[in-house]
Amino acid sequence: MATAVNESDIFTCSICLEKLKSPKSLPCLHTFCELCIGEFILSTERRAGHKLKSYPCPVCRSVITPTKFDDETSQWASALLIASLMDQSESTGTKQECHMCKRQNKQNIATRWCRDCSEAFCDDCSQLHNLMKFFADHTVIKIEEVNTSSASESEPSFKIDTCSVHKSKVLDAFCFDHQELCRVHCITLHHRKCENIEVIDMIENKKDKIETLQYELTEVKNKKGKLTEEKDLEKEKLNAVFKQIEMEAKTTVLSMKKNLDGLLGVLMKEMNLIQEEQDVSQEEKSESLKTFLNIINQLQDKSKIVGQHGSLNQMFMYFERSKCELKSAIKDTSSALN
């Protein structure tokens, strides 16, 4: 249940009892420094010895249930920024109420939002906030300009680098030797041998360095644009060369194909002529063999008849004539068969 807060305690953290730094409001309306409530949540978990499902308010002991239980416990404190940003009013469809008035049990519609305090104010409270010297340099915008869905992702003011050892502690120094952010209280752990470390708030000419960086980034961007144009021109030239090579290759292949087709035609014609000559030669040889076979058959038939009906002298005479006739046939056939 929400408890009333005295006006003198509005800007005081209930844990460190000092002025609020990066204020975080719990649903019970008690406000703490982000580092203080973060350390309180982590110490509560360490005492419990296991992952917490909820934790008590350090003041009224109201049970607080995180809106994003799956996140790391060290991130619960930073998540309160989003929880208090619109004060759970979006889900109910109501307008954002003034946080300062709400602590005084009043209800007024908020018209301004302080990004440094992470709180909403009505017109009267906004004027009071701006008059105080401690909040003179805070950034105050219209409540309509607050974008809860993109503020934590796109605006640099919502991006806070935290220590890798102490998750709820903000990095407040820079090591030029390692070119990385660090925390003053953790320098002895990782940077005790480094000689060039400065607290960020004490670094001089930060604005000049940022302007120099922006100028260098612009120069790099311009050079990158020129380099891109040169590479595109090179690409076009290479594409033209490749197309020319492709055209020449196609022309050469077509010419070679035409020549090969001509050679193939000549070769086929010569092969056909040779084949025809071979066919004629084979036919002549076959006819010679048939003639020779017929002569042999005739000699055999005549020899058989003479042997049966002729005398010995007739057989002798026929045999001699047959020898001459056979020799002549063999000669003619051998000549035809090469």
d(CA 131, CA 152): 28
26 and 97 belong to one structural domain? yes
Domain closes at, from 97, 130, 157: 157
122 and 178 belong to one structural domain? no
Examine residue 1 and state whether it is found in any structural domain, yes or no.
no
The reported pLDDT for the residue numbered 156 is 39
Examine residue 104 and state whether it is found in any structural domain, yes or no.
yes
Query: Which tokens sit at 167?
Result: 């998750």
Element (H, E) at 210: helix 206-309
d(CA 86, CA 93): 11
Examine residue 139 and state whether it is found in any structural domain, yes or no.
yes
Q: Name the residue with tokens 């049966």.
A: 308
88 and 66 belong to one structural domain? yes
198 and 239 belong to one structural domain? no
244 and 186 belong to one structural domain? no
Res. 157: pLDDT tops 50 = no
Distant-in-sequence, close-in-space partners of 158: CB < 8 Å, separation ≥ 6: 81, 115, 151, 152
DSSP 148-165: TTTHHHH-GGG---B-SS
Examine residue 2 and state whether it is found in any structural domain, yes or no.
no
Query: Which tokens sit at 189?
Result: 């752990």
The reported pLDDT for the residue numbered 82 is 37
Domain closes at, from 157, 186, 217: 157
The reported pLDDT for the residue numbered 37 is 86
Write the pLDDT tens digit of every residue in 175-208: 888 888 877 767 766 777 888 888 777 776 767 7
Res. 7: pLDDT tops 70 = no
d(CA 199, CA 183): 9
CB 70 within 8 A of CB 76: no
145 and 175 belong to one structural domain? no
DSSP 291-338: HHHHHHHHHHHHHHHHHHHS-HHHHHHHHHHHHHHHHHHHHHHHHHT-
Through-space distance between the first and last CA atoms of the chain, rounded to whole angstroms: 129
The reported pLDDT for the residue numbered 122 is 93
Per the structure, the complete domain to which residue 294 belongs is given by 208-336
DSSP 8-state class, residue 105: T
Examine residue 331 and state whether it is found in any structural domain, yes or no.
yes
195 and 310 belong to one structural domain? no
Write the pLDDT tens digit of every residue in 113-138: 887 777 889 999 988 888 887 777 78
184 and 93 belong to one structural domain? no
Domain closes at, from 180, 203, 226: 203
The reported pLDDT for the residue numbered 170 is 64
d(CA 52, CA 73): 8
Res. 167: pLDDT tops 80 = no
Q: How many structural domains comprise the chain?
A: 3
d(CA 84, CA 118): 8
The reported pLDDT for the residue numbered 158 is 40
d(CA 254, CA 26): 83
Q: Is 182 left (phi over 0), alpha (psi -120 to 50) or beta?
A: beta
Examine residue 71 and state whether it is found in any structural domain, yes or no.
yes
194 and 213 belong to one structural domain? no
263 and 328 belong to one structural domain? yes
183 and 60 belong to one structural domain? no
Domain CATH code at residue 97: 3.30.40.10
Examine residue 162 and state whether it is found in any structural domain, yes or no.
no
Examine residue 165 and state whether it is found in any structural domain, yes or no.
no
Where residue 261 falls among pLDDT bands split at 50, 70, 90? very high
Query: Which tokens sit at 219?
Result: 């120069």
189 and 278 belong to one structural domain? no
Query: What CA–CA distances, in Å, run from 211 to 23, 154, 179, 181, 216?
Result: 31, 20, 19, 20, 9
Res. 152: pLDDT tops 60 = no
Picking from 1, 31, 193, 236, the residue whose alpha carbon sits closest to that of residue 119 is 31
33-37, 65-69, 166-170, 225-229: lowest mean pLDDT where? Answer: 166-170
- The beta strand positions in the chain, using DSSP E, are 23-25, 31-33, 55-56, 63-64, 112-114, 119-121, 140-142, 173-175, 180-182, 197-199
